[in-house]
Structure 1
Amino acid sequence: MDKPNPTFNHRYILGISFISALGGYLFGFDFAVISGALPFLREKFHFTAWWEGFLTGSLALGCIVGTLIAGKLADKYGRRPGLMLAAGIFALSSFGMAFSDELSFFVSMRFAAGIGVGMASILSPMYIAEVSPAHVRGRNVAINQLTIVIGILITNLINYTLADNGPEAWRWMFGIGAVPSALFLLGVVWLPESPRWLLKAGKIEQGKAVLHSIGSADFVAKTTAEIEKSLIGGTRPSFSAVFQKGVRPAVVVGITLAVFQQLCGINVVFNYTSTIFESVGASLDRQLFETVSIGVVNLVFTLLAMWQVDRLGRRPLMLIGSLGLSVVYIVLAFLLQSQASAEFVSIFVLLAIGMYATSLAPVTWVLISEIFPNSIRGMASSVAIVSLWGAYFLLVFTFPILAQKLGTYGPFYLYAIICFLGFLFVLRKVRETKGQTLEELEDNFVRH
């Protein structure tokens, strides 16, 4: 008979997880706002397909910088200072984009927004993973994905509402992001530092105090012992340490999953919704309505993923999602190629979103937050997420160019092939992680 779990303060754990996950909301805002704003930005700046891809992808270039900053900051100073800095960057860049009159300045502000997104994309799930007991860690890290999709949905609704306010409506779309940024900053001020970082930094009593806020004395003693054991003989955080032989298998899995999550192609659907539906004759109002529909489906299926990630497990969800996307993309490409009705295209676009939202979207972030050793988690996570944002830039930069040369449908055949290859990788290389502590995963996943 299994021993009962230690007593946990689940209300407190959920509270600090949701506050940290507000970084995900801002991630969702900056990610989604471009989809509704692109038709207005095309009229304002008259850019080519190359510039459209670069403008959209400039967020990813900033994300790479933000991720590198966050990884070093997280390992040296803690998770909390980085979350505060990300909130400030979000607010300033929102105002900068709203008041842009030159394309170059707008792109530079979107790049700055990417720095904040990149920092939040690594620090929010990392923080949540480090304050969550093993039996609810998957669900709690998925809260970050939930706030991302809530940010996407609310942003799409705001875009749809503002679209009738004339050619300058895009300024309000971007400027309104300063409001959640301020709320996020206020929330982070209240957060405790990660107990795992405190123990790693030698601040034993502070670390134990945070653990006492999370769970019972048995939990504190067990977790403290496991963390201290995992740090014995640990390497000093550096890029060379990340690629040492003992951790290399986990790093390869983390990088491959991160790249796959982007090159699977779904963010083309999120960022270029208007382009996809314009290609089958949909009006501007219908294009923006589809962004709202995507946001609703994304939210519903993310909630489903949160329910299943600690029950069904990480690996089955990834296998179902990757293979399902491969099939859906083939059908979607055929529909776009044959100029099917917008209503019919919408069904398969939403089906693709649902597949992604229950699998690659949340589970990739969960796995990246889990599989690296305590001693280098910040740096190793940054390497994986830099790879993710590099792949995102490649995806969104190339789509307008490929769509211009091959037709809007053409790239989706390529994405179908990538999804099938991703399915084979998960089948062969990814192990299940549900229900294990971070220290158990370090022993079982990394060293063997």
Structure 2
Amino acid sequence: MKQPANVLHLTLVVALGGLLFGYDTAVISGATEALQSYFSLDATALGFAASSALIGCVIGAIFAGVMSTRYGRRGALIIAAVLFLISAVGSALPDNYWVFILYRIIGGVGVGIASMVSPMYIAEVSPANRRGSLVSCNQFAIIFGMLVVYFVNYGIALLGSESWLNTMGWRLMFGSEVIPAGIFLCLLFTVPETPRWLAMQGRHQEARTLLKAVNPGADIGHQWQEITDSLQDKSSGGIVSKGLLGVLVIGIMLSVLQQVTGINVFLYYAPTILKGFSDSSIDLALLQTILVGVVNLTFTVIAIFTVDRFGRRPLMMLGAGIMALCMLVIGTAAYLNAIGGYLLVFVLGYIAAFALSLGPVTWVLLSEIFPNSVRSKALSIAVFAQWFANFVVSQTFPMMNDQNSWLYQSYNGGFPFWLYGVMGGFTVYFVYRWVPETKGKSLEQLESLWVSSDAKGKTQYV
């Protein structure tokens, strides 16, 4: 079989893993009230229904590094695609709450694998001067998957009454994932492995041929030498060695901060939150959720065209600052009982800022900062931390936002938004203080950024 090596083709196929990432995680947003009604769930059980897939994401992230090293980047994505198919069918059928949870966890394992391997694959086949925009395409696919499922959920909700949605409609929402999962699985057989993974396996001729194919017209001699040198260099030691501990901590912090700034509160609970801003019906709240998805997608496209031009650091700091401001305004409005439809502006501002910064750029940084020899393992640890933080945020928000909770009664529902706003402000400081600019450098050149850690454990970079 002739394997195409056009980097755009490879990116678009592999980014379907991102699309399924978004589709699988956001499908719950249109079904939360139906699930609460069908299974008679309290706030804690509803939170677990929404966040249970994240348990699978954590498991998938743990094993993704081993899978992508042993079976290859493409092999790991094939496993993820199969898990997506199983989850789509299984989560649409059960009458038992715990059976539903089991299949959501299975889908989460697929998400955990794809969330790590898709951006890593794209980074490993991308030219240095296009890597930021190409890896950002994976985030575009994530948001596009969310937007698609928002339309799917809204369309299904219009097919029947609210009673029908609570008994049958939610099953169609989850089952609809079979279509993109099947397409992803088939298309994966049209892409090769990455040149860097092939080099790790000693398949040098295949690796050189593919490297040349994805860099048409370029002299790959120097780049190939850098790749082989990076794989042969044993001086860096293991992941926790002195030279790599700093970058690992930075990767973990970037992952955690992407989540604790509150993005998935809006992605998972958007209809519920938006319905609370006014007296709108659930249908109108779902329609507003689609607007959230459109803004998310639009500003992700802007990030794709700016990340390699302006760099990673400026986008991260600007976006995190705007996110913090919007969250603080929403929290204050809730505390003062000044809730109204005008808050949709700040929700959209927050979403736009995330889509311009922490959404795509965090994944760009994670895919490029780790050395070749430990990339899959280090990235697995960072993504594990990301999904664990995602689980904590998704599980705790319904409890903090429950009208019977002490926090809700004391702060009138504003506390969680204030908390996420403070985390956004801290993200600005963290990026300014600790994260270097990485645009325009090859993956191998970036390895030289992390040269030492001083006595206080501060990573030094040049």
Band of TM-score, shorter chain: over 0.9
C-alpha contact 2:87 2:103 (8 A) present in aligned 1:
yes
- Between the aligned partners of 1:170 and 1:226, the Cα distance in structure 2 is 51
- Between the aligned partners of 1:252 and 1:69, the Cα distance in structure 2 is 19
Query: Which residue of the partner structure matches residue 284 of structure 1?
Result: 282
Query: Which residue of the partner structure matches residue 382 of structure 1?
Result: 380
Q: Alignment partner for residue 107 of structure 2, among 102, 105, 113?
A: 113
C-alpha displacement of 1:223: 1.9
- Number of aligned pairs? 436
C-alpha contact 1:262 1:392 (8 A) present in aligned 2:
yes
Asked if 1:268 corresponds to 2:265, the answer is: yes
Query: Which residue of the partner structure matches residue 79 of structure 1?
Result: 73
- Between the aligned partners of 2:272 and 2:179, the Cα distance in structure 1 is 29
- Between the aligned partners of 2:108 and 2:451, the Cα distance in structure 1 is 31
C-alpha displacement of 1:340: 4.2
- Between the aligned partners of 2:60 and 2:88, the Cα distance in structure 1 is 16
Query: Which residue of the partner structure matches residue 231 of structure 1?
Result: 231
Q: Which amino acid aligns with 2:361?
A: V
SS of the residue corresponding to residue 191 of structure 1 reads coil
Query: Which residue of the partner structure matches residue 219 of structure 1?
Result: 219
SS of the residue corresponding to residue 189 of structure 2 reads helix
- Between the aligned partners of 1:402 and 1:341, the Cα distance in structure 2 is 17
- Between the aligned partners of 2:36 and 2:48, the Cα distance in structure 1 is 13
Query: Which residue of the partner structure matches residue 347 of structure 1?
Result: 345
SS of the residue corresponding to residue 280 of structure 2 reads coil
Q: Which digits, 9 at most, give the CA deviation of each residue in 1:410-443, with x for residues without a partner? A: 2001111111111111110000000000000011
Query: Which residue of the partner structure matches residue 430 of structure 1?
Result: 435
- Between the aligned partners of 2:192 and 2:451, the Cα distance in structure 1 is 28
- Between the aligned partners of 1:15 and 1:272, the Cα distance in structure 2 is 34
Bigger shift: 183-192 or 277-286? 277-286
Q: Which digits, 9 at most, give the CA deviation of each residue in 1:35-78, with x for residues without a partner? A: 11111111111111111111111111101111122110112221
Structure 1, unmatched stretches of 5+, are: 1-9
Q: Which amino acid aligns with 1:442?
A: E
Query: Which residue of the partner structure matches residue 69 of structure 1?
Result: 63
- Between the aligned partners of 1:245 and 1:53, the Cα distance in structure 2 is 40
Query: Which residue of the partner structure matches residue 391 of structure 1?
Result: 389
Query: Which residue of the partner structure matches residue 5 of structure 1?
Result: none
TM-score between the two structures when normalised by the length of structure 2: 0.91
Q: Which digits, 9 at most, give the CA deviation of each residue in 1:85-120, with x for residues without a partner? A: 100100110000111211101111111110000000
Query: Which residue of the partner structure matches residue 44 of structure 2?
Result: 50
Q: Which digits, 9 at most, give the CA deviation of each residue in 1:138-168, with x for residues without a partner? A: 0000000000010000100110111133221
Q: Which digits, 9 at most, give the CA deviation of each residue in 1:329-358, with x for residues without a partner? A: 111112233444542121111111001000
Query: Which residue of the partner structure matches residue 305 of structure 1?
Result: 303
Asked if 1:364 corresponds to 2:362, the answer is: yes
C-alpha contact 1:235 1:376 (8 A) present in aligned 2:
no
| Pair 1:255–1:119, CA change in 2 (3 A) | same
| Pair 1:230–1:11, CA change in 2 (3 A) | closer
Q: Which digits, 9 at most, give the CA deviation of each residue in 1:235-287, with x for residues without a partner? A: 89xxx922111111110110000000000011101111122123333321121
Superposed, which structure 2 residues align to 1:234-249 within 5 Å? 234=234, 241-249=238-246
SS of the residue corresponding to residue 272 of structure 1 reads helix
Query: Which residue of the partner structure matches residue 3 of structure 1?
Result: none
Query: Which residue of the partner structure matches residue 417 of structure 2?
Result: 412
Q: Which amino acid aligns with 2:127?
A: P
Superposed, which structure 2 residues align to 1:31-180 within 5 Å? 31-164=25-158, 165=160, 166-167=164-165, 168-180=168-180
| Pair 1:11–1:373, CA change in 2 (3 A) | closer
- Between the aligned partners of 2:346 and 2:216, the Cα distance in structure 1 is 48
- Between the aligned partners of 2:391 and 2:213, the Cα distance in structure 1 is 40
C-alpha displacement of 1:388: 0.2
Query: Which residue of the partner structure matches residue 458 of structure 2?
Result: none
C-alpha contact 1:36 1:291 (8 A) present in aligned 2:
no
Query: Which residue of the partner structure matches residue 249 of structure 2?
Result: 252
C-alpha displacement of 1:33: 0.6
- Between the aligned partners of 2:150 and 2:451, the Cα distance in structure 1 is 40
- Between the aligned partners of 1:290 and 1:333, the Cα distance in structure 2 is 20
Indicate the RMSD between aligned Cα atoms, in angstroms.
1.6
C-alpha contact 1:196 1:227 (8 A) present in aligned 2:
yes
Q: Which digits, 9 at most, give the CA deviation of each residue in 1:392-423, with x for residues without a partner? A: 00000000001112333320011111111111
- Between the aligned partners of 2:248 and 2:23, the Cα distance in structure 1 is 29
